[in-house]
Structure 1
Amino acid sequence: MTKLLIALASAGLLVLGGCAGTTGGTSGTQASAGTGISSEAQSALKQAENDVAASKKDENEWTTSAAVLKKAQEAAKKGDSNTVLKDSKLASELAKISIEQLKYPTTDVFK
């Protein structure tokens, strides 16, 4: 169990470390000014909102998924499709992992 937790923590750090090197500039996914975010970003944001809501329903929401979702929603208000895509995908992934965590066996360390 300890090895699994270490592996999950390491994977999370790698994901966050990889995101730190990305730029916030525009690319082909950036919608033109005044039209909001791209349809791909809208879809990713909707999926992230659904995944985080599902983890809340199971009462196993990770605070990091809620924080990243909030960043994605703020980026959507600013029209930054790249940031919305990046943060939405991360929030969705964290929410799915938190749901999967419920399937792990419990530990009896403190009995």
Structure 2
Amino acid sequence: MRKKKIYIAGPMSGIEGNNRFIFHAAAEFLRSDNIIILNPASLPIGLTEPEYMQICLSMLQCADEIYLLDGWEQSKGARSEKTLAEKLDLEIVYQNGVEFEMTLAQLSY
């Protein structure tokens, strides 16, 4: 059985810790035996923004779905990733709901 690949997109620049905690919480929320998570927050710290985008757009091209975190609209990078996902005809899923918030609460303890 082929595993589904989900790319996580959302705001990073200008947010404390580059919003890595929320990206990792989303990865935990989405985690399943049948899913491969493509998480930009797993990349090493210290690359330039263009280097991150180059890697992230390549990751996105391998995905079946993009999972957009809240606030993605304020991120130039996430908007670009969503546009590419649309061009690639990927499934687009938006973060919302109580289940994600419950995962977030569990991880913050």
Q: Fold conserved (TM > 0.5)?
A: no
Between Structure 1 and Structure 2, which shows a larger proportion of helix residues? 1
Higher relative contact order (CA 8 A, sep 6+): 2
What's the TM-score, normalizing by structure 1? Answer: 0.27
Larger Rg, first or second structure (1 or 2): 1
